[in-house]
Amino acid sequence: MSSIKKVVLAYSGGLDTSVIVKWLQENYDCEVVTFTADIGQGEEVEPARAKAQALGVKQIYIDDLREEFVRDFVFPMFRANTIYEGEYLLGTSIARPLIAKRLIEIANEVGADAISHGATGKGNDQVRFELGAYALKPGIKVIAPWREWDLTSRETLMTYCEKHNIPVDFNKKKKSPYSMDANLLHISYEGGVLENPWTEAEDDMWRWSVSPEAAPDVATYIDLTYEKGDAVAINGERLSPATILARLNELGGANGVGRLDIVENRYVGMKSRGCYETPGGTILLKAHRAIESITLDREVAHLKDSLMPRYAEMIYNGYWWSPERKMLQTAIDESQQFVNGEVRVKLYKGAVHVVGRRSADSLFDEKVATFEDDAGAYNQKDAEGFIKLNALRMRIAANKGRSLF
């Protein structure tokens, strides 16, 4: 194989990436540097240190990236009301560019010439990791063991572990029949019975939220404060980005909010069925649209809506670190200047209901909108000319005999 000297591996501490450590050492005869990040997946990251050490790793990076994740990735994305294919809040997609960035930063620090990850060759994550890495460090080598090795079944993997003395029981999560991914924004489930899209997800699969049926019989109301398009406070309490999202996850999860069951189109060309829990994100999307509804100009809002699907594609497909995403982000951020104010939402048994919104920057003009006497704020006669000129091209066409039936 190629002459790689040092590789930085995105290391979860789980079985698969532990095998990868050994496999890299063995097959590439290179030093492995591990990088483990806390992005809010809800598992301790510190234990990864001992595990890596046991595998002979000398340079071990363990970072708490939760605030950076929410501040620089999740929040910018929510400014655009981003949804992929009408449903998916991009919980997995948005975490990958941060990991890619840190892998490259560490590669630069330790003088590594390659990075590696544990994503399979069928999924979107390999694309997201690698596009980010190449964009940030064009000469980097990427080793994707799942596309290379022959440990493709559970059995061969276990045999490999035995042979190399890798403890096989240290990752309890893997007892789940599902392939899962979690971070502060969401947890996802794929595989197992979900591979038949007609089969309903089993109730005990869900981990972050109670079922709507088990949620409280009394609704929870929340007031969310927004500044320049970002949530900054809950019920008046100012909180850091990661804290806000964590708090909303708790509140949403307790009310059965944020479960999603979809079939999505992967960038690599196949459809796949996934279940997601995004309690906080589900609230944020609704609330952000609500605060925009009174503070954003109509045409700006519509322009954003028309750009959103492409922006979502960029993130889903792994182009966070691209000039086109940066270009769109500039426009989106510019639009958020006046997106300030408060939104009141009601959480109840799996649903989020917006019930109120107010802002010092509101463009809602009660004097104009009222059904009561508006004291001349709006001249109804203007509407006639407005309609007549908007109709002109169609009247001319109809006069020329064109029919719309």
Active site positions, annotated: 16, 96, 125, 179
C-beta of 277: minimal distance to a second copy in Å? Answer: 12
Contact 80, 49 (CB under 8 A): no
- Which positions from 161 through 190 interact with a second copy, judged by CB under 8 A? 179, 190
C-alpha distances in Å from residue 187, one per residue of 48, 219, 260: 20, 24, 11
- Which positions from 92 through 121 interact with a second copy, judged by CB under 8 A? 120-121
Among the residue ranges 5-13, 22-30, 85-93, 240-248, the one whose residues contact a second copy (CB under 8 A):
85-93
- Which positions from 14 through 43 interact with a second copy, judged by CB under 8 A? none
16 in a labelled binding site:
yes
- Which positions from 123 through 152 interact with a second copy, judged by CB under 8 A? 126-127, 130-131, 134-139, 142, 144, 146-147, 152
Contact 78, 185 (CB under 8 A): no
Cα-Cα-Cα-Cα dihedral sign, residues 70, 76, 79, 80:
negative
C-beta of 273: minimal distance to a second copy in Å? Answer: 7
| DSSP H helix total and E strand total for the chain | 14, 14
C-alpha distances in Å from residue 44, one per residue of 13, 14, 64, 102: 10, 12, 11, 19
Q: Which structure tokens are listed for 66?
A: 């939760």
128 in a labelled binding site:
yes
- Which positions from 252 through 311 interact with a second copy, judged by CB under 8 A? 259, 261-265, 268-273, 289-290, 293-294, 297-303, 305-306, 309-310
C-beta of 209: minimal distance to a second copy in Å? Answer: 12
Of the pair 29, 200, the CB lying nearest a second copy is at 200
Of the pair 208, 338, the CB lying nearest a second copy is at 338
Of the pair 172, 405, the CB lying nearest a second copy is at 405
Contact 366, 345 (CB under 8 A): no
- The per-residue DSSP string of 298-350 comes to HHHHHHHHHHHHHHHHHHHHT-SSSHHHHHHHHHHHHHTTT--EEEEEEEETT
Residue 82, classed as helix, strand or coil, is coil
Number of residues that bind a second copy (CB under 8 A): 126
Of the pair 53, 330, the CB lying nearest a second copy is at 330
Which segments are annotated as binding site for ATP?
10-18, 37, 118
